[in-house]
Amino acid sequence: MKIKIEHIPVMPKEVIKFLNIKKNGVYVDGTLGSGGHCQMIAQLLNKKGKIIGIDQDIEAIKFAKKKLAAFKNSIKYVNDNFVNFESILDKLKIKKVDGVLLDLGVSSHHLENPERGFSFRESKENLDSEIDMRMNQSQSLSAYDVLNKYQEDELKNILFNFGEEPYAGQIAKKIVQIRKKHPIVTINDLLSVIKLATPPKYRFSRKYGYYASKVFRGIRMEVNQELLVLQKVIPQIVNRLKKGGRLIIISFHSLEDRIVKQSFREMASAKIVKLPFKKPLTPSKKEIIKNPKASSAKLRVFIKYN
């Protein structure tokens, strides 16, 4: 099945401005996705400049290679999780880099492909798809495992803490009740559980499946261990930045931004990095109208001292 992927890079002007691109620099796009940000960086480099594009999803890398074919001599593609940042650079024999970008949002490649089981879209094709949510399809843990094997308290905590779902307790309880009768396998199975566990007023105020967005986000973050990965990678990246090198992180979740903010504060206090601004940058109204998915984005920047 051919999937149409139309991904608009989030806060593109801000990313380019604060990466402060050097024409012959070495840059890392740790969340390559559809290659939108990577393409913008590549356009500003000369023949000596390099980009390392990292993505744990091999399908995303295949797509990006086709899209960015014109820049094939400038980009090195790496199929790995960015949590392995330092080992990736070691394998490439790169000691230091000039800039790194992490765009933590889920990619259009995942959302638009029903076979990946990320989307709560209520189309027949998507409803019949198995719920999966693995960004790296070679890992064992999937959304199916979380929904059918986790204890009720674990599910409640995931939905409340990661998803910020107000009906986390009711939904977790209903998941356990339903799976005693049959496993929760498809997108429709999960949506049906959510419908049974939440009041009509809540669902009808969030049309087109959006009543399920927080549940899907919470499960996705658990499957891919997104917060733990973020905590681990920030010090690795800063350690491999050149003097004056930049790290830009775009987050879409309050817990992600909290981790980034705390890391920034600790490193700034220790004079490891400096911050060009304390509060995060957010998208303009004009950008949000053009790209509603950017509405919750927050951008923060580290600049390495030494």
Hey, which of 33-37, 77-81, 126-130 has the most confident mean pLDDT? 77-81
Note the pLDDT tens digit of each residue in 190-199: 999 999 999 9
Note the pLDDT tens digit of each residue in 251-298: 999 999 999 999 999 999 999 999 999 899 999 999 999 988 888 999
Ramachandran region of residue 212, left (φ > 0), alpha (ψ -120 to 50) or beta?
Answer: alpha
In the chain, which ranges are E strands? 26-29, 50-55, 75-79, 97-103, 241-251, 273-274, 298-304
Q: Which two tokens stand for residue 62?
A: 């295949």
DSSP 204-219: HTSTTTGGGHHHHHHH
The rounded distance, in Å, linking the Cα atoms of 269 and 125 is 51
The rounded distance, in Å, linking the Cα atoms of 2 and 63 is 12
Architecture in CATH for domain 137-223? Orthogonal Bundle (1.10)
Note the pLDDT tens digit of each residue in 139-181: 999 999 999 999 999 999 999 999 999 999 999 999 999 999 9
- DSSP 8-class letter at 150: S
Residue closest to 250 by CA, chosen among 280, 221, 224, 228: 280
Q: How many CB atoms lie within 10 A of CB 4?
A: 7
The type of residue at 52 is: I
**Contact at 8 Å (CB) between 153 and 173?**
no
CATH fold of 12-108+226-304, please?
Answer: Rossmann fold (3.40.50)
- Domain boundaries, given as residue ranges, for the chain: 12-108+226-304, 137-223
- DSSP 8-class letter at 107: P
